[in-house]
Amino acid sequence: MTENKNSVKKTVFLFVVAFLCLLAMTAGIVVNHSMQADAKTLTGEPIRWQSENWKVVNFFAPWCAPCLREIPALNRLYRSLENDVQIIGVSYDGGSQQALQQLVNDLNVEFDVLNTSDDFTLPMAFPGYLPATYLISPSGEVAQTLYGEQTETALRERLNHLRQEVEGAHSADEH
């Protein structure tokens, strides 16, 4: 009888240990997945679409004249924005990391550019035409899609408007 009780205790103990190991592995997988970047910049910085920052994602190409006119406006916006907004360029044509870096240098792009030679995830589909700019909320969702050439002033106004909408929605939820 005592031998049977010891056998049951050992079985229960092994079951609990196995269950805890499985639970720890699952938690590790979830934490690891949540810490992985959705994309990386050319400089290797991770990008998470869901974060505390708003993001301006601008698709560009060297053959797109309006895109080329947008770059100085995006550079000015990049230099003047607070830390809660990140500007990210995406080359419509893709290419190797070296080719993308050369393009960024040639076009005098000052803001982060997505490394499209690596695996990456976008919160939107590639646009059908250019220029295309997406405003991404801190929740990682596309808050607005803008087609056509954008100005620094227009982008700043859209961001401020969207921020106010989101803050207003959070205030209403708290009451």
pLDDT in tens, 42-96: 999 999 999 999 999 999 999 999 999 999 999 999 999 877 799 999 999 988 8
Let me know the angle formed at the C-alpha of 140 by 107 and 27, rounded to the nearest 5 degrees.
Answer: 120
Let me know the angle formed at the C-alpha of 25 by 19 and 28, rounded to the nearest 5 degrees.
Answer: 140
Find out whether 91 and 103 touch, Cβ atoms under 8 Å: yes
pLDDT in tens, 9-55: 666 666 566 666 455 555 444 333 445 789 999 999 999 999 999 99
Least confident residue range of 6-10, 105-109, 113-117: 6-10
Q: Pick from 121, 141, 118, 146: which is nearest to 58 by CA?
A: 146
Q: Give the model's pLDDT for residue 14.
A: 63
- In sequence order, what DSSP letters do the residues of 143-163 get, joined into one string? EEEEES---HHHHHHHHHHHH
Q: Within a 10 A sphere around the Cβ of 146, how many other Cβ atoms?
A: 16
pLDDT at 103 over 90: yes
Q: Angle formed by the axes of helices 152-174 and 65-80, to 10°?
A: 60
pLDDT at 150 over 90: yes
Per-residue pLDDT, averaged over 149-165, amounts to: 94
Q: In what order do the strands lie in the sheet containing 132-136?
A: 112-113, 85-91, 54-60, 132-136, 142-147
Find out whether 168 and 155 touch, Cβ atoms under 8 Å: no
Per-residue pLDDT, averaged over 148-165, amounts to: 94
What CATH number does the domain located at 39-174 have?
A: 3.40.30.10
Say whether pTM exceeds 0.85. Answer: no
